[in-house]
Structure formats: structure tokens, C-alpha cells
């Protein structure tokens, strides 16, 4: 990549992950608005802002690709439902003091991806990958044994995002047009929800004079700006480097949960996180060793 600028890539990548990591502050500002209503507006404002972005940043050929391949539209519709579910659970978790579980979900996501590759794509795992997945499973089982229930928030977030990435590969459309089309396909559902809930907060004229209205309208830029930064960073950095940077977001969420919002971080939760972190260390070590082997081979 002759025009790669690693310094710019790091700035853009860090910007994307820091914004994602600070999402809880945004959703806490909307705590008085039900999670479902936040997601409805996130879809609508993302669709609007995304359309404007596509007018500014040209992505030649993306619409023709979708028009000529209706199957890709169906895939994007499925992706839209998955990402909307992910958004909904995340917002609910943040506004119901379950941010620690949310951060755990995004920590285990890379390991869920490895597992999905094994179970669905038939990929063969290397020994260290098996160990990483086993450590993650141990962390989840520890929570099940200690708490008496599965960390469902963590698992839903990890699985929906994992399946989103897996299915998204079946519709090779650039990230920004793809996400915008996904939100466009969800717009009828969002409008139907508003029509069926005339008593919703945002259906009242007085709501649009409140500060929450501005925060809701900001959902479009807040959703898409980090994605644009991430896509730009990917042009300047190796994907493995971005993979390591991804741990910044759940770390920021975890720190906010403990330091700002006083969520209880029990010893049993710490043990579960320790298992996950150990799994991520092994996973990262495997990536590094594999890359080193390729470069030397």
C-alpha cells in the first residue's frame, strides 16, 4: 500500500474506538427515553445522515451491485435486524446498569468469531486458538456457576455481532453503503413502530423542545462517524493492528462502569474477566506467531 500513512491510520483508528468506547456517555444522556425508542431514532437518523454521507463520499457502483444482486439486499436486511438487536441490547444494558456485562460481550466477540468460523465455515483451529476459546468458555461457565445464570447480555452482544460479521461477508458491499442500506431497510419498521406507539415520548410535540431531542437527532452522526474513521484507518493500517485496537472500546466501557457509574465489580466477575483476558492474550499471541511464521516463511 504505497500511500499508506500509519500515523494517520493510528489517529483514525483510535478515534473510532474511543468514540465507540464512550457511547455509554451518550446513551446515559438519553436514559429517560426507552431503549426501543432510542433504536428507532438511531435507525431513522442514521438512514438520513448516511444518505447525506453517500452524496459527499462517492462509492461508485454500490447501488448497481445491489440492483443486479437482489440476494445481497436480502442479506443486508438480515444484517440490519442483527445490528438493530445488538444496538437494542447494548442501549438497554447501558441504561440498566449492566455496562460490565456489555463490555464482557465485546471482549469475547473475537473469540466468538473464531468459534463461528469453526462451527459454520468449517475452519480448522490451531492449538492456541482452541486454548483461547476454552478460556473464554471457562469464563462464561464461571459466571453461570457463580451467578446461577448465563451472562445473557454479553452472549447476545457477542453472538449478534459475530453473526452480523459472518453474514455481512455474503454481501460484499463497502462498509458505509452497506450500513446505510441496512438502516434504510429498517426505516419502514421504525416508522411502523412510531405509528403504533402514539404515546411515545418522541411522538409528543413538547419533546422536541427538550435536550433529549437534540441527543436523539445526533444518533446519525454518532453512529456513522466512527465507522467512517474505522474505514479510513483500515486503508492505512494492517487489519491485525486494528484487531488489537478493538480492545480499547470495551476497556473504556468497563472503566466507565466502575469509575463513573459505580457498577459492582465482584471478585467472581473479575475471575470471569481474567479468563476472557487470558483467552484474548492467547488469541493475540497466536495471531502474532502466525504472522511471524508467514513473514519468515
- The conformation of residue 32, written as its DSSP 8-state character, comes to T
Mean pLDDT of the chain: 88
Phi, psi of 101 (to 5 degrees): -65, -40
Task: Output the CA angle 127-249-223, nearest 5 degrees.
Answer: 120
pTM: 0.89
Confidence of residue 155 (pLDDT cuts 50, 70, 90): very high
| Residue 1 reports pLDDT greater than 70 | no
| Residue 44 reports pLDDT greater than 90 | yes
Both ends of the chain: CA-CA distance in Å?
21
- Concatenated DSSP letters of 97-164: T-HHHHHHHHHHHHHHHHHHHHHTS-PPPPHHHHHHHHHHHHHHHHHHHHHSS--HHHHHHHHHHHHH
Check residue 239 and give its pLDDT: 67
Confidence of residue 240 (pLDDT cuts 50, 70, 90): low
Domain ranges of the chain: 6-296
Which range has highest mean pLDDT (128-132, 201-205, 226-230, 255-259)? 255-259
Residue 22 or 3, more confident: 22
Amino acid at each position: 500500500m504505497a500511500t499508506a500513512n500509519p500515523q494517520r491510520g493510528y489517529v483514525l483508528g483510535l478515534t473510532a474506538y474511543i468514540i465507540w468506547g464512550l457511547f455509554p456517555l451518550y446513551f446515559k444522556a438519553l436514559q429517560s427515553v426507552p431503549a426501543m425508542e432510542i433504536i428507532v431514532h438511531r435507525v431513522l437518523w442514521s438512514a438520513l445522515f448516511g444518505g447525506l454521507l453517500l452524496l459527499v463520499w462517492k462509492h461508485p457502483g454500490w447501488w448497481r451491485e445491489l440492483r443486479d444482486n437482489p440476494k445481497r439486499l436480502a442479506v443486508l436486511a438480515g444484517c440490519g435486524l442483527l445490528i438493530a438487536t445488538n444496538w437494542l441490547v447494548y442501549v438497554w444494558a447501558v441504561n440498566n446498569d449492566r455496562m460490565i456485562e456489555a463490555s464482557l460481550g465485546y471482549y469475547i466477540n473475537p473469540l466468538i468469531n473464531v468459534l463461528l468460523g469453526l462451527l459454520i465455515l468449517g475452519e480448522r483451529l490451531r492449538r492456541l486458538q482452541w486454548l483461547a476459546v476454552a478460556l473464554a468458555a471457562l469464563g462464561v461457565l464461571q459466571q453461570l456457576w457463580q451467578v446461577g445464570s448465563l451472562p445473557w447480555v454479553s452472549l447476545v452482544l457477542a453472538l449478534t455481532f459475530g453473526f452480523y460479521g459472518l453474514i455481512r461477508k455474503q454481501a460484499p458491499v463497502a462498509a458505509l453503503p452497506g450500513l446505510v442500506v441496512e438502516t434504510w431497510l429498517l426505516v419502514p419498521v421504525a416508522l411502523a413502530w412510531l405509528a403504533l406507539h402514539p404515546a411515545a415520548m418522541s411522538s409528543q410535540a413538547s419533546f422536541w423542545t427538550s435536550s433529549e431531542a437534540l441527543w436523539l437527532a445526533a444518533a446519525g452522526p454518532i453512529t456513522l462517524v466512527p465507522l467512517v474513521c474505522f474505514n479510513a484507518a483500515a486503508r492505512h493500517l494492517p487489519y491485525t493492528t486494528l484487531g488489537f485496537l478493538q480492545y480499547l472500546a470495551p476497556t473504556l466501557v468497563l472503566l466507565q462502569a466502575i469509575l463513573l457509574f459505580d457498577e459492582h465489580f465482584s471478585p467472581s466477575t473479575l475471575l470471569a474477566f481474567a479468563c476472557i483476558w487470558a483467552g484474548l492474550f492467547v488469541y493475540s499471541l497466536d495471531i502474532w506467531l502466525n504472522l511471524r511464521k508467514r513473514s519468515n516463511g
